[in-house]
A and B are shown apart, each in its own frame.
Chain A
Amino acid sequence: MSGSDASTPARSDANPDRGSPRSGGSAGRAALFREGWLLVLPALVVLCAVMAYPLASIAVRSISQPEWGLQNYAWFFGTPVNLTVLQRTFTISAWVTVVCVLCAYPYAYVMTVVGPTLRVVLILCVMVPFWVSGVVRTLSWVLLLQDSGAINSALRGLGLPPVRLIRTQTGVVIGMAQVLLPFMILPMYSVMKGIDLRLVQAARSLGARPSRAFFSVYLPLSLPGVYAGAIIVFILALGFYITPALLGGPRSTMLSTLVQTQVLSLLQWGRGGAMGVVLLVATLVLLALAAPLMRQRHKKTGAR
């Protein structure tokens, strides 16, 4: 146990005041460590029982049903439609992320510069979607995006031609982006409010035009927030189920829907499991790849 302590000298040195008064030596620290384990254990047990074990059983089914082997994975990667859906899942998630970044950036920025009252209102607007049932919100999008829905009624009222929105990728992206927007705004906001605006002023006083000052000073400083938000949104979007299921059509099916169909409609646990494992691995790999960007965020905000 002391080995793991030694592996992170920077952290334990940085917090000399951590720990209870009686833990002077490494023996005391080890006792604390054991105590820590005991406290974490109950949560860990629940996690193992209803997350780790079920996921493991899915992984096992993916290589054992109907018989042992990799045939389910061979089937997944050998069937064009699965690859199309896999690719589409990534494309839709990417679009959702782009839309979220573009909409969240100005919003988060305004949150940092307005007065306290207006800020509370803006924060409330971000939180409202959190507090309204997710299923109901998706229902709202069905009502809005229908061919006879609110958006098309408005377009018709303005004498414009109606647009097909429901059961299209555009519709799914619009609906998903709204659901995920808070996850983008909040991390951006927390980074932006830490940016020292005097740096921008300094750039301006040195003769930089506003746009230049923004792109060369403010934007780089805010990027960690953008990265963090984008990663969260992208990863959550990959696993989305309800919104694409209700708003989507055959051309906007995402991987989650296929997994559900394989298991609930076809009882193909093996194939469904293989798809699930692919989705899970994709998510974890992305997270691992993105981890350096997240770490960068810690460095920058830590330096403020």
Chain B
Amino acid sequence: MTMSPFTRVLLGLCCLLVALWLVAPTLVVVPMSFNENKSLAFPPKGFTLDWYANFFSNPEWSSSLFNSLKVASLVAVAATVLGTLAAFGLDRMKSASAGWLRMILLTPMIVPGVVLGIGIYAVYLDTHLVGTLFGFVVAHTMLAIPFVLIAVSASLEVFDKRLELAAASLGAGRWTTFRTVTMPLIAPGILSGFLFAFVTSFDEIIVSLFITSPYLKTLPVQIYSSITRDADPTVAAVGTILFLATTLLIGLGLVLFGRERRT
């Protein structure tokens, strides 16, 4: 579309501002993490690395990080298996009821978190699942299944079924066809579903706040309670570390992905 230079500049400026708005706020935790005062009041004063040391030495923080990694890994595996199976199932059904089923399986994405939270809390209180690993994993798996379903379904949509047909006509059994043809082709979808499931669990806060106990706190719960209860800059240090870690991971992914595309 041809644009006047004025429109072009205006658009560019809008775009830049929105990009800043998306990214910059997160960076404000970085200076805060070096604050000498045990306070979250801006602007930070002085310089210290105490809060980083606290994150790594305080068992409350390290155990919550460990819990989150554990829960998220289990959830990623469980949700990927269940979500992929469901995606295949829906792909076979292809009927009105499949449409309904898909909608039902996606509802965890739109049910307000607090409503889900109080419901699960009520059930977990009765079944003594509050603060248990099993309780966390099941609840998070439910929340993560939609993401896996979407990712795998998307790659099944574009997947050319004639390839399966070809394999079958060449005498491959159903399992062999699946293993040698279907699986490798939809692997990127499954992988991105896996990652989304991991992140969903790792970042989940609302339901977790309801079903947590002193024995099992996940990192977001610890961050939330530290913000509201302690207001100490350790949270800023944690935020900075998480931000750095994910940036590194994504950067690494980009480099690898970029190289793959070039070759």
Contacts and interface: CB of A to CB of B under 8 A. Distances in A.
Interface of A: 4-5, 7-8, 11-12, 15, 17-22, 32-33, 35-44, 46-47, 49-51, 53-55, 57-58, 61, 103-104, 106-107, 109-110, 113, 120, 122, 124-137, 139-144, 146, 148-150, 153, 178, 181-182, 197, 200-201, 204, 210, 213, 218, 235-236, 238-239, 241-242, 246, 256-257, 259-260, 263-264, 269, 272-273, 276-277, 279-280, 283, 287
A128 B23 contact: yes
A283 B250 CA distance: 34
Given A4-B96, A33-B92, A133 B115 contact: no
B250 A131 contact: yes
B105 A110 contact: no
A117 B1 CA distance: 20
A204 B27 CA distance: 43
A43 to B, nearest CB: 4
Contacts of A7: 95-96
Contacts of A136: 26, 29, 223, 235, 238-239, 242-243
Interface string B100-120: 010011011011111111111
Interface in B142-163: 142, 145, 149, 161-162
B244 to A, nearest CB: 10
A287 B106 CA distance: 13
A17 B57 CA distance: 59
Contacts of B235: 136, 139
B168 interface: yes
A37 B85 CA distance: 10
Nearest to A38: B89
A143 B29 contact: yes
A46 B75 CA distance: 12
Contact of A53 (B107, B123, B161): B123
Contact of B22 (A149, A181, A204): A181
Question: Which of A15, A239, A259 has the most CB atoms of chain B within a 10 A radius of its CB?
Answer: A239
A172 B85 CA distance: 40
Contacts of A61: 122
Contacts of A178: 21-22, 25
Contact of A242 (B4, B89, B224): B224
Q: Which 3 A-B pairs have the closest CB atoms?
A: A239-B112, A54-B119, A39-B89
B174 interface: yes
Contacts of A41: 89
Contact of A125 (B12, B19, B81): B19
Interface string B16-58: 0011011101111100100000001111000000000000000
Interface residues of B, number: 93
A259 B219 CA distance: 24
Specify the main secondary structure of chain B where it touches its partner.
helix
Nearest to B112: A239
A6 to B, nearest CB: 9
26 contacts: A11-B94, A22-B168, A33-B92, A37-B89, A40-B105, A43-B86, A43-B149, A47-B105, A50-B138, A51-B107, A58-B115, A58-B119, A106-B14, A107-B18, A107-B19, A131-B247, A132-B243, A136-B26, A136-B239, A140-B27, A143-B40, A149-B42, A210-B4, A239-B114, A239-B115, A256-B114
Contacts of B98: 36
Contact of A104 (B18, B96, B247): B18
Nearest to B240: A136
Nearest to B3: A210
Nearest to B250: A131
B43 A148 contact: yes
Contacts of A263: 118, 121
A103 B18 contact: yes
Given A38-B89, A272-B118, A246 B113 contact: no
B14 A132 contact: no
Contact of A241 (B19, B206, B243): B206
A46 B18 contact: no
Contacts of B243: 132, 136
Given A125-B22, A139-B239, 7 more contacts: A17-B162, A44-B101, A44-B104, A47-B145, A110-B11, A142-B227, A201-B2
Contacts of B111: 51, 55, 239, 280, 283
B199 A131 contact: yes
